[in-house]
């Protein structure tokens, strides 16, 4: 019997030299490389595939929601009247959309001061409009965020809005495009400094603004206050027409009453500040269909075809700015005018700042069976826009020559039978300029 050798054998040879040992070591290493490295290679491949899948999912999320939620746009405090503020907010939202950023919840202004910026009484957006409701309705289109969302990782980049005649729409658009790319896009926050968003250049069609406006839902407290005023108007209508309350309380899907006591809402712009503004505007534009006297408004509203007497006419007017207290006299027989004091709802308004008062009046006018306003007023223009949207949802594409629900009129423009001109917003307009600054080309 052969005894086992004290030296190991490899392929039938004794490894009794350093050279052989080296050869053996190389062979072993090659063997391990062939057997084990594919596993490591596969591991790298899996990692790579997972990374690709993660990026793919991230991109799909961005595509689904439309707007990044880790990049933000900050804008200056929004000022002026309610509807100028709504336009400014929409413009800021659409600017954030263009930059693929979430708009940080801006501060609105509760008071109405045009030049005394230190007296603007800032009020948070969510004290007027529902924050979560806005994001729900506008999901995938524009997005609103809170400052608590910030992680403060990359700092802030400031964007100075240009001004003056040399700052054209094209230059403004080029600036926004630049800030949508590196190196600016890497910052967590882009802060726009300078003028109020209402004065920014307009790059978006009416339908985009309308989409944002649809997402602005008043907080429940303001909605309830508006409902109290509308209920009072209809109660007065019942009393005047001799109707009882029984069987008169059916409500349609948008909260408007179906009872047989309709009312007309007139945004009666005869306040001191408006008279000064519209006269200057007429001089600059060389137009005559902007200002309307109290008598002209009364006459044209009285000539609206189809108004059945008796009819309550609610006058939406800023009482603190009202120079002529005789707005309740001189109306056509059968038209019964009421303002806040005569209606005994002035107490509802007095407990709120200017912005909330305006929001209540806006809602009262929006719900009216017939609305009459001034086509050069942003308040009237946005009401006409919302009522146009209601009509479109009902399948109505034109208000001309037909008896339709939610009709609107402009008393500053002469229409049929010496009445006010029918008013329907052009939803295909490429710019909000007509609504922001007014027009006499409104319909028909």
Contact 391, 383 (CB under 8 A): no
Contact 399, 407 (CB under 8 A): yes
Q: Report the C-alpha dihedral over residues 21, 26, 30, 36, rounded to 10 degrees.
A: 70
- Looking at residue 402, its pLDDT comes to 62
Sequence-distant (≥ 6) Cβ neighbours of residue 360 within 8 angstroms: 222, 225, 226, 229, 348, 349, 352
Distance of alpha carbon 363 from alpha carbon 370, whole angstroms: 13
Q: What is the pLDDT of residue 29?
A: 56
Q: Please name each of the domains of the chain with its CATH number.
A: 72-215 (3.40.50.11340), 220-243+260-437 (3.40.50)
**C-alpha–C-alpha distance, residues 384 and 375, integer Å:** 9
Phi-psi group of 226: left, alpha or beta (phi > 0 → left; psi -120 to 50 → alpha; rest → beta): alpha
Q: pLDDT (tens digit, 9 = 90+) per residue, 114-149?
A: 555 566 789 999 999 999 999 999 999 999 999 999
Residue-wise pLDDT for 221-271, tens only, equals: 999 999 999 999 999 999 988 765 444 444 444 444 445 689 999 999 988
- Determine the Cα–Cα distance for residues 91 and 69; give it in Å rounded to an integer: 19
The yes-or-no verdict on residue 49 having pLDDT over 60 is no
- For the chain, the straight-line distance linking the first and the last C-alpha, in angstroms and rounded, comes to 119
Nearest-angstrom CA–CA distance, 96 and 1: 91
Least confident of 16-25, 115-124, 313-322: 16-25
Across 83-92, 283-292, 431-440, least confident range: 431-440
Average model confidence (pLDDT) for the chain?
82
- In this prediction, residue 118 carries a pLDDT of 60
pLDDT of residue 25: 62
- Residue 147 token pair: 């400052």
- Reported as a pLDDT band with limits 50, 70 and 90, residue 273 is confident
The sheet carrying 72-74 orders its strands as: 144-145, 102-104, 72-74, 189-193, 156-160
Q: Is the pLDDT of residue 201 over 90?
A: yes
Which residues share a beta bridge with 58? Answer: none
Task: Report the distance separating Cα 126 and Cα 112, nearest Å.
Answer: 19
Q: Are strands 9-10 and 189-193 parallel, antiparallel or unpaired?
A: unpaired
Measured CA distances, 104 to 48, 120, 126, 187 (Å): 35, 20, 12, 14
How confident is the model over 374-417, as pLDDT tens digits?
A: 999 999 999 999 999 999 888 887 766 667 788 999 999 999 89
The pLDDT of residue 18 = 53
Collapse the DSSP code of 401 into the 3-class scheme (helix H, G, I; strand E, B; otherwise coil) and give the result: coil
Given pLDDT bands bounded at 50, 70 and 90, which one contains residue 442? Answer: confident
Q: Which of 56-70, 81-95, 426-440 has the lowest mean pLDDT?
A: 56-70
Check residue 99 and give its pLDDT. 96
**Cα Rg, the chain, nearest whole Å:** 33
What's the pLDDT at 398? 72
Look-up of token digits 């400031």: 158
Region of poorest pLDDT, from 106-110, 122-126, 239-243, 429-433: 239-243
Res. 14 pLDDT band, cuts 50 70 90: very low
Whether 434 shows a pLDDT value over 90: the answer reads: no
Which stretches does DSSP call E strand in 282-338? 311-316, 335-338
pLDDT digits (tens, 9 = 90+) for 347-372: 999 999 999 999 999 999 999 999 99
């Amino acid at each position: 019997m052969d005894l086992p050798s004290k030296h190991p054998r490899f392929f039938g040879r004794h490894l009794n030299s350093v050279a052989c040992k080296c050869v053996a070591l190389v062979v072993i290493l090659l063997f391990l490389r062939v057997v084990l490295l594919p596993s490591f290679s596969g591991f790298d491949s899996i990692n790579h595939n997972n990374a690709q899948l993660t990026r793919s999912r991230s991109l799909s999320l961005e595509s689904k929601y439309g707007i990044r939620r880790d990049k933000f746009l900050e804008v200056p405090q929004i000022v002026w009247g309610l509807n100028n503020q709504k336009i400014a907010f929409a413009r800021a939202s659409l600017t954030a959309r263009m930059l693929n950023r979430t708009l940080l919840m801006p501060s609105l202004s509760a008071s109405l001061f045009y030049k005394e910026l230190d007296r603007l009484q800032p009020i948070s957006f969510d004290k007027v409009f529902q924050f979560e409701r806005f994001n729900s309705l506008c999901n995938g289109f524009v997005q609103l965020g809170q400052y608590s969302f910030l992680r403060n990782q990359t700092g802030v980049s400031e964007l100075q809005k240009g001004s003056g005649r040399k700052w054209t729409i094209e230059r403004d658009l080029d600036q926004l495009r630049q800030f949508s790319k590196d190196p600016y896009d890497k910052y967590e926050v882009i802060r726009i400094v300078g003028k109020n968003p209402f004065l920014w250049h307009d790059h978006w069609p009416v339908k985009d603004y309308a989409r944002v406006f649809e997402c602005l839902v008043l907080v429940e407290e303001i909605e309830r206050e508006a409902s109290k005023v509308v209920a009072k108007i209809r109660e007065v209508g019942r009393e005047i027409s001799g109707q009882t309350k029984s069987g008169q309380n059916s409500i349609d899907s948008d909260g408007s009453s179906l009872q047989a006591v309709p009312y007309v809402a007139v945004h009666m712009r005869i306040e001191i500040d408006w008279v000064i503004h519209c006269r200057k505007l007429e001089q600059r534009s060389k137009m005559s269909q902007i200002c309307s006297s109290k008598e002209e408004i009364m006459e044209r509203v009285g000539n609206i075809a189809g108004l059945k007497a008796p009819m309550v006419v609610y006058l939406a007017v800023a009482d603190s700015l009202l120079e002529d207290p005789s707005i309740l006299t001189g109306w056509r027989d059968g038209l019964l005018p009421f303002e806040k004091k005569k209606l005994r709802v002035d107490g509802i308004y007095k407990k709120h700042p200017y912005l909330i008062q305006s929001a209540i009046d806006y809602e009262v006018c929006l719900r009216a069976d017939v609305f009459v306003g001034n086509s050069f007023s942003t308040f009237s223009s946005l009401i006409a826009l919302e009522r146009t949207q209601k009509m479109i949802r009902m399948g109505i594409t034109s208000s001309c020559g037909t008896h339709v629900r939610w009709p609107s009129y402009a008393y500053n423009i002469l229409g049929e039978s010496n009445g006010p001109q029918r008013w329907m917003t052009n939803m295909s307009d490429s710019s909000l300029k007509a609504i922001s600054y007014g027009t006499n080309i409104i319909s028909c």
